[in-house]
Amino acid sequence: MEEKNSNTNLIVKTTSLAMHIVSDYIRPGDTVVDCTMGNGYDTLSLAAAAGCTDNSALRGRVYAFDIQQQAVDATKAYLLKNGITDPQANGIYLIRDSHAEMERYLPDPSETEISAFVFNLGFLPGKDKSVMTTAETSLPAVKKAIRMVRQNGIVSVMAYTGHKEGEEEYAVISEFLKTLPSKKYHVAYVNMINQKKTAPSLFLITPKVRERNIL
Ligand SMILES: C[S@@+](CC[C@H](N)C(=O)[O-])C[C@H]1O[C@@H](n2cnc3c(N)ncnc32)[C@H](O)[C@@H]1O
């Protein structure tokens, strides 16, 4: 689990930087979404921020998505290793489906505010590299997340340009995010300008107004 005040060098580890920023937008009791569950590291960090990992009276909800059963199994195992035997009882929902389908599982955002959506694109490290996110589903999913996140909430998108599909995905998402109206959204971009091409880039989006039909 990412400790808020750990000695992690946030500039070196972009995933930790993303979670450090995202956590600041989440309070115990909040509802949040991990759009790419993978090995469950982000799921657990989000669960901790939302109050799902202890006996907090303010227990939130985490919805985590992945298309691979391997990811669901790895996440279950990682949660168990961290003391969570029954994820659902802790408000953590592990869903084997595409992030493009997420509205089928999430609460209605007009009734339950959703504070954060986290995308860590690409493939599962150390596993089948042919199963990866692609712009075909990640772009619509990012658009949905931006539409559903609460005002002053956060959508975080980590993108990788080290492989051909990733490069394409990064370009499509980047071009779309540039078109978001500046009066309604703030979009930040973090890029490692002196590192290898495989270093990830991070997009952070926050809506300044609550407007659902803009995209
Ligand atoms: C870089 S990994 C995510 C790492 C993860 N956040 C963690 O903390 O371990 C990307 C994941 O996206 C998943 N993925 C690919 N296409 C997807 C889709 N359409 N919907 C949801 N997840 C998808 C892959 O199976 C892979 O597990």
Quote the distance between the C-alpha of residue 142 and its chain's center.
Answer: 10
pLDDT digits (tens, 9 = 90+) for 109-149: 999 999 999 999 999 877 777 888 999 999 999 999 999 99
Q: How far is the CA of 128 from the centre of ligand 1 (A)?
A: 11
Ligand 1 pocket mutation pick from 16, 66, 127 by most atoms within 8 angstroms of CB:
66
For strand 185-190 and strand 201-207, is the pairing parallel, antiparallel, or unpaired? Answer: antiparallel
Residue 42 Cβ inside 6 Å of ligand 1? The answer reads yes
Interatomic CA distance for residues 58 and 63, integer angstroms: 17
The pLDDT, as a whole number, for residue 6 is 62
Q: Mutate which of 2, 133, 137 to test ligand 1's pocket (most atoms within 8 Å of Cβ)? A: 133
pLDDT per position as a tens digit, 157-203: 999 998 888 999 999 999 999 999 999 999 999 999 999 888 899 99
Total-model pTM: 0.95
Measured distance CA(59)–CA(70) in Å, rounded: 27
Contact status, residue 18 vs residue 118, Cβ threshold 8 Å: yes
Burial of 129 (0-12, 13-18, 19+ CB in 10 A): exposed
The Å distance, Cα 163 to ligand 1 centre, comes to 15
Q: Of 3.10.20.30, 3.40.50.150, 3.40.50.300, 1.10.167.10, which CATH number belongs to 14-207? A: 3.40.50.150
